[in-house]
Chains A and B, each alone.
Chain A
Amino acid sequence: MSLAATPSRTNAPRLDGVAIAAGLATLICAAPAIAVLALALTQNAHAEFGAALIANGAIGTMTLVLAGGAGAVVFGAVAAWLVTLCNFPGRSIFEWALAIPLAAPSYILAYAYASMTWAGGSPIPVNGVWGAAFIYAVGLYPYVYLAARAAFASQSACALEAARMLGASPLRVFWRVALPLARPGIAAGAALACMEIAADYGAAQHFGLTTLSTAVFRAWYAHGEPGVALQISGVLLVAAMLFLFIERSARGRASYAGGSSRWRPLPRYTLNVAASMLAVGFCVALILFGALLPLLWLARLAVLHADVQDIARPFMNSIVFSTIGTIVTLALAAAIAVAARRASSWGKTPLFAAGMGYAAPGAVIALGALSLFGLAREAGWVSGLGAGLSLAALFWTYAARFSAAGVGPIDAGLARLSKGLDASARTLGAGSWRRFAAIDLPIAAPSLAAAALILFVEILKELPATLILRPFNFDTLAIKAYSYASDERLLDAAAPSLLVFLAGLAPIIILARNIERGRAGAHS
C-alpha cells in the first residue's frame, strides 16, 4: 500500500519524495533508449548505404545469434539436466562451477583464443564466424544453464516419478517430461544469451565480422554517417527489446510450470561409470573452454609479458570509472526497486524501463545519451561537448545500461520484506522517508552490497560505450585490451584482459554462493 494511493488530510503528502525520486530515476534510465528509437525514425540519412549496411549487419548478427545461440542452448540445457536430475561424481561442485564462464566478456575470450590460435596453443583454430560462434557458445551457455537449472529444479518430483513408474527410460523422461516442462526457462536463458550476442562488439570486431553492432561503429567512425549509425542502433534496439520480451514472457510462463507446490527432493538418476565419465567430461570441457583455458593462457602471457607501468594508469582509471558509475547507477537502481515494490499502481513500468537499457548494446545507449546532449546543445541548454559533458554522457550510459542489473538483486532483497513491516512502521508513526531509511534500506543492505559489486564489475568490463564516450587518452583496462588487440599486439593485450577476467570472477563467487545456499534442503 503506497502513501500516494491514500488520500490524506494531514501529514501524508500526495506525492511523496520516494515516488518522485523513483519517477526521475526511471526517466533517466529510459531516456537514451527512447531517444535512439525516436531519432532512428526521423533520420534523413544516406539511404542506400544505410540499407546495405543494415542488411549485411543483420545477416551477420542473425548468423551469430543462430550458431552461437544454438550452441549455448545445447550446452546449457544438457549441463542443467545433468546436475539437477542425475547423480555423478563432482555434481555438487559442477552445480556452481558451470557458472564460471560468465566471468569473461566475449571480447576477452576472443583475444585469449586468438592469441592461442596464433601461437598454435589452441586445441582448435578459433577465428572467423565459427570462431566467434564457438566463443559465444562456451562463454554464454551459463545464461541458459542457470535458467534451465532453476526450471528443472522447480519441476514437480511427482511428474518425474510418475513418468518413471510408467516405465519411461531416463532419456524418454528427459524428452517427454523434463524438457517440455523446462522449455520456458530454457527459452528465457536463450533469449538472454542471444541478447548478449547481438550486443557484442569486441569479439565480432576482432574477428572482422560485420554485425549490427560493428556496423554502428563503421557507419559512424569509418564513414562519418551518424544518421546511419542511429538507424542501425534503432534496429538493434528493436531486436534487443524483442529478446527482452521473449525472456520476460518465457520467464512468466516458467513460474507456472512448477506444478506441485509441495517440495520434495528430485528423484535423481545415478549414472553408471561410463555415463558418469561422459557427464564429468562434458562439464569439465565446458568450464575448461569457457573459462579455465583462456584464463590460464592469459595468465601465462601476462606473467611473461606484463608491463606494470603500462597497465597501472588504465587500472586506476577503471577503478575510478567503475566506482563513480556504480554509485550513480546504484542510487537510481535503489530508487527504481523501492518504487516498484511500494507503488502498486505503477505496475512494473520502472522495471521494464530499466530492462530496456540493459537489453540494448552499450554503443546504442551511448549514441542515445550523446544525441540527447547534442539536442540540448542545439537548444542552447549546454555549450560545447567537452570532456565534462562526455563524461556525464558516459556515466549516464552506464546508469541506463546497467541499472536493471542492480534493480534485480535489490528487488530480490526487498522481496524478503513482508508487507506487514511497512504497515507496522506506519502504525508506529513512521513517514515515507523514515520507512525507507530505517526499514527498506537496512533490510536490503546485503542485496545492495551484492548489487554494487555486480555493477562495479559490469562497468569495468564495459567496452563499446566507454570506447565512444571516454575522454581523449583516458584508457580503462577494457579499452587497453581492445586497442592492443586491434593492433594485433595480443601479447600486450594479455595483462589488461586478465585483470578484467579476474574482476569478473567476483560476482560469480556471489552467484555460486547463492546457488549453494539456494540448494534445496540447505536450510529449513
Chain B
Amino acid sequence: MSSVQLTNVRRSYGKTLVLNDVSFTAPEGQVVALLGASGSGKSTILRLIAGLEPVDAGEIRIGGERVSGAGVAVATEARRVGMVFQDYSLFPHLTVGANVAFGLDKLGRAERDEMALKWLDRVGLKHRAGSYPHELSGGEQQRVALARALAPKPRAILLDEPFSGLDAGLRAELRDTTLATLAEARTTTLFVTHDAEDALQAADRLVILKAGRVLQEAAPREAYDHPASLDAAAALGPINVFKGAVNNGVLDTPFGTVQASHLANGSTAVAAVRAEALTLTPGAGAQVTAVRPHGAHDLVRIEAQGLAWRALTPARAPLGDTVSVQIQPTGAFAFSA
C-alpha cells in the first residue's frame, strides 16, 4: 500500500490536450474517486498511473518512487499497480481460479492456488473457482476482476467505471461488497466514475475533473458543501443557475436570495442552487409547471419571472399550482462570473 501522487501531469493525443497540469494525491490506504463526464480525462489518468501510456510532462510517484516523468517510464509490469478494467478483461480461456492466480506466478503452485482461493473467498466466489468467465454474471465477473487485481498485493489499485453497466439493485450491492473488500485489503484505491452518487458514497476523497483539468480535490462532504466553482457544484448533482449583480452581500434570484458576502457589491455573480436545497410549500411566489416522479422524490419544475428551476421535493407532497420557495443556504453558492 502506497500513496499515488500526480504532479503537473500533461498528456495529449496528437493536437488534443487530454490532461492539462493535473496534480493531486491519493493518500495511502484511501479510496479516491475521479469524477467527471466522458472526455474529462479521468480514464487517461488511470492508464498513465498504470504505465499503459507515457506522460508528456509532469511526474507520477507511487509510494514515493518516481514511475513516470522526464526520462523515466517504469514498465507497467514492474509497477505493481492492479487494475480492474471497465469490461473486466478476464482471460476467457482461463478458469476463474486461474485468472486470479495469473498475477501470482512468483509463488509456488500450491501457495498460488491457496492464495487465489483465499481471494475468491473474500469476494464470495470460492465455489466458482472452476468456472469460466463466460459462465458468470456481470456482477460476478466484476468481483473476479477485483480479486485478480488485489491478489498480487499491488501498491495501489485502479478501477475504471467499476459499477457501470450493472443494473441499479446490483450496483448498490456490488459497491458495498467492493468497498468492504478494498477496506479489508487496505489498498490505496483510485476509481473512475461519472456517477456523483457512486463517488459521494464510495470515496474518502474526490477529484473532480473537467476537460482535462482538476476542478476540485476534497473530501466528499466538503466538495458537496463547499464547491470550488460552478462546474464543481454541477458535478455533484443537478443545480439551478442564476446570473445577476451582488447587492448588499446577497444575490437576488426570482426564487429567493443567495449569500454572496465574499463577493464585491455591484459585481456580476452566478448563483448555483442545488435542486435538493429548494423547499417548496403551498403558497404564492412561483408557479408549478411540471411534476415528475424521481424515486423517493418528485422533480418539480417551477417558474417565476420567466425563469424555470428544478426542485427535488419529497414524493407526492401536496403542492397546488403555485408554491412559495425557500432556498436552504447550505445548498446555495455564489461565484464571481
Q: How many A-B residue pairs have CB under 8 A?
A: 93
Q: Which residue of B lies closest to A427 (CB)?
A: B83
User: A12 and B75: CB pair below 8 A?
Assistant: yes
Instruction: Pick the interface stretch among B86-94, B206-214, B217-225.
Output: B86-94
Partner of A11, one of B54, B75, B85, B87: B75
User: B52 and A423: CB pair below 8 A?
Assistant: yes
CB contact under 8 A between A8 and B105, given known A420-B87, A423-B52, A427-B81: no
User: A430 and B77: CB pair below 8 A?
Assistant: yes
Q: Which residues of B contact A8 (CB under 8 A)?
A: 73-75
> Complex: how many Å from CA A423 to CA B50?
9
CB contact under 8 A between A423 and B83, given known A8-B74, A428-B102, A439-B91: yes
Asked whether B149 is an interface residue with its Cβ less than 8 Å from the other chain, the reply is yes
Asked whether B76 is an interface residue with its Cβ less than 8 Å from the other chain, the reply is yes
Asked whether A239 is an interface residue with its Cβ less than 8 Å from the other chain, the reply is no
Asked whether A442 is an interface residue with its Cβ less than 8 Å from the other chain, the reply is yes
Partner of B78, one of A1, A7, A10, A443: A10
Which residues of A1-38 have CB atoms within 8 Å of chain B's CB atoms? 1, 3, 6-12
User: A429 and B152: CB pair below 8 A?
Assistant: yes
Q: How many residues of B contact A (CB 8 A)?
A: 35
Q: List 19 A-B contacts (CB under 8 A).
A: A1-B52, A3-B75, A7-B54, A8-B75, A10-B75, A11-B75, A12-B75, A12-B76, A12-B77, A423-B89, A424-B148, A425-B102, A427-B158, A428-B82, A428-B152, A434-B105, A439-B91, A443-B91, A445-B93
Asked whether B103 is an interface residue with its Cβ less than 8 Å from the other chain, the reply is yes
* Cβ contacts A410-440/B at 8 Å (1 or 0 each): 0000000010110111111111001000110
CB contact under 8 A between A427 and B74, given known A418-B89, A439-B91: no
Q: Which residue of A lies closest to B75 (CB)?
A: A12
| Contacts A9-B73, A424-B89 known; 18 new A-B pairs at CB < 8 A | A6-B73, A9-B71, A10-B75, A11-B75, A12-B76, A12-B77, A420-B88, A421-B89, A423-B50, A423-B85, A424-B91, A427-B149, A427-B158, A429-B103, A430-B102, A434-B105, A438-B102, A443-B93
Which residues of B48-77 have CB atoms within 8 Å of chain A's CB atoms? 50-54, 71-77
Q: Give, as a whole number of angstroms, the nearest-CB distance from A442 to chain B.
A: 5
Q: Give, as a whole number of angstroms, the nearest-CB distance from B95 to chain A.
A: 12
Q: Give, as a whole number of angstroms, the nearest-CB distance from B93 to chain A.
A: 5
Q: Which residue of B lies closest to A429 (CB)?
A: B77
Top-8 shortest CB links A-B: A12-B75, A420-B89, A428-B103, A426-B76, A424-B89, A427-B83, A420-B85, A10-B78
Q: Which residue of B lies closest to A5 (CB)?
A: B54
> Complex: how many Å from CA A54 to CA B204?
79
Q: Give, as a whole number of angstroms, the nearest-CB distance from A346 to chain B.
A: 18
> Complex: how many Å from CA A3 to CA B78?
12
Q: Which residues of A contact B52 (CB under 8 A)?
A: 1, 423, 426-427
> Complex: how many Å from CA A9 to CA B75?
7
Q: Which residues of B contact A425 (CB under 8 A)?
A: 91, 102
> Complex: how many Å from CA A9 to CA B51?
12
> Complex: how many Å from CA A512 to CA B92?
25
User: A443 and B92: CB pair below 8 A?
Assistant: yes
Q: Give, as a whole number of angstroms, the nearest-CB distance from A304 to chain B.
A: 50
Q: Which residues of A contact B81 (CB under 8 A)?
A: 427
Q: Give, as a whole number of angstroms, the nearest-CB distance from A14 to chain B.
A: 11
Which residues of A309-351 have CB atoms within 8 Å of chain B's CB atoms? none
Q: Which residues of A contact B79 (CB under 8 A)?
A: 427
Q: Which residues of B contact A430 (CB under 8 A)?
A: 77, 102-103, 105
Q: Give, as a whole number of angstroms, the nearest-CB distance from B60 to chain A.
A: 13
Q: Which residues of A contact B154 (CB under 8 A)?
A: 427
Q: Give, as a whole number of angstroms, the nearest-CB distance from B319 to chain A.
A: 42
Asked whether B301 is an interface residue with its Cβ less than 8 Å from the other chain, the reply is no
Q: Which residues of A contact B75 (CB under 8 A)?
A: 3, 6, 8, 10-12, 426
Asked whether B128 is an interface residue with its Cβ less than 8 Å from the other chain, the reply is no
Partner of B50, one of A12, A421, A427, A434: A427
User: A9 and B72: CB pair below 8 A?
Assistant: yes
Q: Give, as a whole number of angstroms, the nearest-CB distance from A56 to chain B.
A: 53
> Complex: how many Å from CA A434 to CA B75?
15
Q: Which residue of B lies closest to A12 (CB)?
A: B75
Q: Which residues of A contact B297 (CB under 8 A)?
A: none
Q: Which residues of B contact A421 (CB under 8 A)?
A: 89, 91
Partner of A12, one of B53, B78, B87, B93: B78
User: B102 and A10: CB pair below 8 A?
Assistant: no
User: B83 and A6: CB pair below 8 A?
Assistant: no
Q: Give, as a whole number of angstroms, the nearest-CB distance from B67 to chain A.
A: 9
Q: Which residue of A lies closest to B51 (CB)?
A: A6
> Complex: how many Å from CA A430 to CA B278?
54
> Complex: how many Å from CA A216 to CA B213?
67
Asked whether B80 is an interface residue with its Cβ less than 8 Å from the other chain, the reply is yes
> Complex: how many Å from CA A182 to CA B31?
54
> Complex: how many Å from CA A430 to CA B101?
12
CB contact under 8 A between A418 and B87, given known A9-B74, A429-B77, A429-B103: yes
Q: Give, as a whole number of angstroms, the nearest-CB distance from B12 to chain A.
A: 16
User: B148 and A428: CB pair below 8 A?
Assistant: yes
User: A1 and B53: CB pair below 8 A?
Assistant: yes
* Cβ contacts B81-121/A at 8 Å (1 or 0 each): 11101111111110000000011010000000000000000
